[in-house]
Amino acid sequence: MVRSMRETERKYEVPSSADFSWLSELERVDGVRSVVGPSARELDAVYYDTEDLRLHGSSVTLRRRSGGSDAGWHLKLPLPGDSREEIRSAPADDVPGAMLDLSMSRTRGAELTPVVRVRTHREVWHLMDAQGARRAELSVDAVRAESLRAKGARTAWREVEVELAEETADAALLDAVDAELRGKGLVLVRSSSKFARALAETGAAPAAGADGSAGEAGPAGEPVLAYLREQVEALTALDPAVRRDRPDAVHRMRVACRRLRSCLRSYRSVLDREVTDAVRDELKWLGGELGVERDHEVLMKRLTHGVDALPGELVLGPVTARLQVWDVAGMSEAHQRTLDALGSRRYRALLDALAALVERPPLRAGAGRKADKVMARAVLKEFDRLADRMTTALALSPGPRRDTALHEARKAAKKVRYAAEVARPALGKPAKRLGKRAKSVQRVLGDHQDSVVARDTIRDLAVAARTASETGFTWGLLYGRQEAVAADRERELPAVWKRASKPVLRKRLRP
């Protein structure tokens, strides 16, 4: 059994001559009524990582701690700003299976072994408000660390941690305490965990530039590789949230897959497709597995909204109950499919391939060419494909063939949008404008496609209702309303496409 909490803290270097007789002065900080302490704790933690320190490389820590009120296993995942998510599990000899799963996107299945041991003598003060609630905890730590790989390598230091109470977390309080501590000569340390500092000071951390990443990627190669790294990091970071069924996590991970696929397709002049095509195929597989859950989620929201929008007197029969039964059964199956995909060897191999792609990119000659020319050419090529698909779709009469053609145009609009995202560092506002116009086309076509999928599901639910001798009136009404949505989007599309296809938008891309 694991539990999760948000940890928001800042760390400070402590001068060797520092004393803390002045801590009572923190009572003048707005929101603090009293400073209670100190109380002493003895903490002993062993930090685990892979042989090549993959957790450390992605700002993740895994430790087994004894002593204190939170003894057990702690997995810390990075969050924006001063925060991290801390996931805790009860004491055990081996790394808990849940933590192996939640760290797998970073470790990629490599064995976890002890790396450093950190022992801390901690003195704790509590910052309390006028109601007697704890607002924050200030700890003065005397730290001793030793490498468990380089025998005999040891280090020691002092530091201060200020951690907000999770239930009353207030960034303004952290800033106010920060000002007081700096005024006393303490120096803020932005990113160093005890684990990171112990690695560095015992000589166990990798040397700068020794991560196997490529050197000069070239003018066009740099923005492409920067985008790839960003999306690989996003996919990796979202894995634990997807496993725990966090809101919007599946959607965001699926989008990262799409962005990666699109980048590898659009910029074949920069990266060798003999390497990247296989990665694109595997990203398509993963996106498809995630898509089952995401599509169900979107469809349920659409159907629920449709029922809620109807006057009560038009909702005849157990419509809501039937919809809920369909949702529970479908979502459970879809989420299990997602978990099966993330637990597969195929997914692990994809993570290895993505790591290799950003560390040892298969650059082509185009990577060394001028970025603006390479980027503009790639974006315009994707736009031409979109234009062809739009011309085909708009020439067809309403019906299934046109629905399919519009769906293909929607996918092409996404590719234009993502290609423009990659190009923005080189092409600036013109790429941003074209990307926004492509997104508007994608939005209209997306709503149209969602109505097509919704109608198919509504028909299936209506058949099931009829089989159970329930009235089909409301299902028919819902079907008709989705037909109306599709018709509205088809009427809207020509004007949206006209704005997106203005020649001036493409002219401005050209260097």
pLDDT at 207: 55
Q: What single-letter amino acid sits at 434?
A: L
pLDDT at 125: 96
Per-residue pLDDT, averaged over 436-441, amounts to: 98
pLDDT at 231: 98
Each residue's pLDDT tens digit, 57-84: 999 999 999 988 889 999 999 988 888 9
Backbone angles phi, psi at 363, to 5 degrees: -70, 145
pLDDT at 444: 98
pLDDT at 166: 75
Each residue's pLDDT tens digit, 454-463: 999 999 999 9
Share in percent of the chain as helix, strand, coil (round to 5): 60, 20, 25
The span from the CA of 169 to the CA of 8, in Å, is 8
Architecture of the domain spanning 219-293+320-369: Alpha solenoid (1.40)
CATH 3.40.1160.10 corresponds to the domain 2-201: no
Backbone angles phi, psi at 130, to 5 degrees: -65, -25
Backbone angles phi, psi at 9, to 5 degrees: -150, 165
- How confident is the prediction for the chain on average, in pLDDT? 93
Per-residue pLDDT, averaged over 264-279, amounts to: 97
Each residue's pLDDT tens digit, 292-323: 999 999 999 999 999 999 999 999 999 999 99
Q: Please, which pLDDT band fits residue 281 given cuts at 50, 70 and 90?
A: very high
Evaluate whether 2-201 and 219-293+320-369 have a shared fold: no
Q: Which of 435, 436, 439, 437 is nearest to 447 (CA)?
A: 439
Residue whose token pair is 């002049």: 269
The β-bridge partners of 139 are 124, 161
Per-residue pLDDT, averaged over 260-271, amounts to: 97
Whether pTM > 0.75 for this model: the answer is yes
Running DSSP on this structure, what letter comes out for residue 363?
Answer: B
DSSP H helical segments within 159-272, as ranges? 171-183, 194-201, 221-243, 249-266
Domain locations along the chain:
2-201, 219-293+320-369, 370-511
pLDDT at 210: 46
The span from the CA of 510 to the CA of 492, in Å, is 29
pLDDT at 212: 45
Give yes or no for a contact between 204 and 149, defined as CB atoms under 8 angstroms apart: yes
